[in-house]
Every structure is written in C-alpha cells, then in structure tokens.
Structure 1
Amino acid sequence: MKTLSRRSVVAGGLGVLLVAGALVGATAFTTPASAQQVEVWKSPTCGCCEGWVKHMQSSGFSLKVHTIDDVDPVKAANGVPDNLMSCHTAVVDGYVIEGHVPAGDVRRLLSERPRAKGLSAPGMPQSAPGMDNPGQPYDVILFGAPDGNKVYARH
C-alpha cells in the first residue's frame, strides 16, 4: 500500500479544482445560439420579416414570434430611436434587435456584450437577411451606448 504525502494530496486536489473550474467557466459564460431565445414582434403582412425569422432559425436561434398589427408600441417600449426603426423588433438576452440584422452580428453582440441597448439595420436594406436582394451595402448600428450610436458592422 502506497502512502500519499501531504504535498501530493494538495497538488492533486488543486488539479481537480483547476479542471472543474475550467469546465464550469466554459459552460457558465458561453451560451450557444440555440439556447438564446429571440422574441420578435412583426406585422402579419410583412413577408420580409418572415424571411428574417427563417434566417435566424437556420442560424441556430430559437424564436418566439408575436404577429401583431402595430409594432410601433413595441419599438417605443424598447427605446428604438425613430431614425433607426425598421419593420420588426426583437429582443434577445436583454438586447434589442431592430430590423434585418444578420445572425452573425447578433452572435457577436451576445459574445462581446457591449454596454448598449442593441443593434439596428435601419430601414429595409435590400441586401439584408430576409430581403435577399444582393448589391446594396448597408450598416448595422450599435445604439444606446454611453458614447453614442456607432457603426457595428458593414455589409
């Protein structure tokens, strides 16, 4: 029978704690897109909104869709500035997503977690997901940040 020294017991225990901590850290601070539910409000007559919903679903997000006649009160309640409005409004993990923001930009937002209200693809950019008419460059705007609105991505 082998006796264990105090040093080997302490070293072994620290190793177990480091491995456990790494595993907990890896799962506690990263959440896959599939675990992020996007709640979206859209008009019943807007086909491009449905296209964006399908884009987000095919990118691994889970969506809860509310089809309503007037989306403007949702925009107002979530602090979307008039100049950044689009056709539908979504919320994911405390952030507002206004309009046809690509899933990759939403994933980046959730990963970086900037201090801001959310992202907007203002208007209805023809090249954006759900619109699917290539050729028109557009910007995604980070809004509600302490240092003001700024371009978050160019497409």
Structure 2
Amino acid sequence: MKKKIVKAFVSTIVLSGALLFSNGIVAQPTHASAAVLNAPISVYEVTASVLNVRSAPNTSSKVVDTLRKKDQIEIVKFYNASWAQIKTTTTKNGIAYVSTKYLQKVPSTVTTKANLNLRSGPSTKYKILTVIPKGAKVSFLGYQTEGKTQIDYKWAIVSYNGKKGFASTSYLNMK
C-alpha cells in the first residue's frame, strides 16, 4: 500500500515538474489526469457535461477517467470516426479512448474583433509585442494554463506574422 502511495506521489511530482517547465501550451483537461504533455496540433473540446475516458474504443470497456465540458484534449488518432485515441496518465500503456460524438474541434484560425495587442504574457501588465488589426486572421495555438490544472480561457496563445504571444479572447472570434 505504501509503495502505491509513494509511486503516485512521485508520478505527481514528475508531472508537475513537466507542466511547470513547459512553454504554457498544454492541452490538458481542467481536472482530470488525461493530460497531453506537448504542444497541441489539433485540439478538441469536450461538449458533454461528463465524457468517459475508456481503456478501449467501445462502450463496454472500463472507464479509466472522466472529462468535463470545455476540457481540451489532443487527439492521437481516430478510429472509424466514432472513437479517438488520447494520451493519458491513468493507464499502464498511457493510451485511452473517448467517443468523438462529444468532441468539437477548436478552431485553428481565428479573427480579431478589434485592434488587438499581442502580449508577451497572459495579462495587460505584459509588454505589447505588436498590434494586430481588426479582422486579421491569427493562428490559434491553445489556451494559457493557470498553475498545474486550470486553463485560463481569458487568454489565448496565438501567432501572427511570425510572432507568438498572448491575446485576450474577448477580442477574438473563436467560432
């Protein structure tokens, strides 16, 4: 019993360190351990209140975790359009599955609603890197993480004309 607790504690410390030293672009659920620990390429958002994360791509397999509405995940690959494989820390092999029926792709290109300051950090206190004009298309890279498990939906990580920074989502058309 003590070995399992120590193992879980060490795993938590290692995962926390990986998140702490990442560049802030982490596609991870806001509460569950089905985290993806690399920069998102294709990010999907959960649309169901609760989405079961399963050990195999079918409804009769074991539920290994759950995700909540608005949690974001990176898809590793799709199975017959009904199931998606994700990375997880809750299974021995690091792989789990979710139903695609309850996922929607987060847009990869968004437009600005007004002139928008691209900043070096997720706050108005950070330096302005450039001003993005109203109606400009920017590449959406993900959301800023707060601490270890919360995603700040107020600030998006975007790229514009080769510059990467933070933009307030209040001034972005995310749909």
Give the greater-gyration-radius structure (CA): 1
Compute the TM-score of the two structures, normalised by the length of structure 1: 0.28
Between Structure 1 and Structure 2, the one with more strand by share is 2
Compute the TM-score of the two structures, normalised by the length of structure 2: 0.25
Between Structure 1 and Structure 2, the one with more helix by share is 1
